[in-house]
């Protein structure tokens, strides 16, 4: 495959880490695809990994902290000039440590309204919009089963965003 091959679909996972009503937003660093765009931290799923395993690994490597991966928020397929990406964004909480800046330009904890002003990577726009508008649909019980494969509803998103007990 060459860099211009956009027929091969690459599976990527992103974490919408929520804490105290805010979401961790990351700005991509220099020398990477989509430099300067905002994204949900994460990366490519490797062979033999589940999406949730990949996400925990990527966050450990990239942000040096541990997360609990909750419900799937959105999967979006985006054809870039370098590849076609299938991006699945999951609602997550911090379970140990706090995010450390390593390869991103910036990390910010933002309210859904503040997220509106960012230049999101094209693959992330649908998931970001669901948080910004609160228009996702789930039940509160999904959040009691963090590994549940169900898609998040607006109630879960609101419940997650409203949680106070997770340290930022």
Ligand X SMILES: Nc1nc2c([nH]c(=O)n2[C@H]2C[C@H](O)[C@@H](COP(=O)(O)OP(=O)(O)OP(=O)(O)O)O2)c(=O)[nH]1
Window 124-153: contact mask with ligand X (x via CB under 6 A): x-----------------------------
How many angstroms separate the Cα of 36 from the Cα of each of 4, 39, 127?
Answer: 21, 9, 18
Among 69, 78, 71, 89, smallest CA distance to 14 is for 89
Rounded-to-10 torsion of CA 30, 36, 39, 43: -20
Q: Given the complex with ligand X, which of 32 and 145 has the nearer CB atom?
A: 32
User: How many residues contact ligand X, by CB under 6 A?
Assistant: 16
Least gap, CB of 87 to ligand X (angstroms): 5
Q: Which residues pair with 94 in a beta bridge?
A: 67
Out of 45, 69, 73, 87, which residue is the one contacting ligand X (CB under 6 A)?
87
Interface with ligand X in residues 36-65 (CB under 6 A): 39-40, 42-44
Question: Which residue is it, tokens 């699945």?
Answer: 88
* Strand 84-96 to 9-19 pairing: parallel
99 near ligand X (CB under 6 A): no
Least gap, CB of 85 to ligand X (angstroms): 5
Q: Which residues bind ligand X (CB under 6 A)?
A: 12, 14, 32-34, 39-40, 42-44, 78, 85, 87, 121, 123-124
């Amino acid at each position: 495959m060459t860099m211009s091959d956009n027929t091969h679909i690459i599976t990527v996972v992103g974490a919408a880490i929520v804490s105290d009503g805010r979401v961790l937003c990351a700005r991509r660093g220099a020398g990477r695809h989509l430099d300067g765009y905002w994204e949900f931290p994460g990366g490519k799923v490797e062979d033999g990994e589940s999406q949730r395993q990949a996400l925990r690994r990527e966050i450990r490597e990239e942000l040096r902290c541990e997360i609990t991966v909750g419900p799937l928020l959105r999967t979006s397929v985006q054809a870039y000039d370098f590849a076609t990406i299938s991006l699945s964004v999951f609602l997550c909480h911090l379970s140990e440590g706090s995010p450390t800046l390593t390869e991103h330009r910036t990390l910010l904890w933002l309210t859904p309204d503040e997220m509106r002003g960012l230049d999101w990577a094209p693959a992330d726009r649908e998931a970001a919009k669901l948080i910004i508008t609160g228009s996702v649909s789930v039940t509160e019980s999904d959040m009691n089963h963090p590994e549940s494969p169900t898609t998040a509803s607006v109630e879960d998103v609101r419940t997650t965003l409203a949680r106070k007990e997770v340290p930022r």
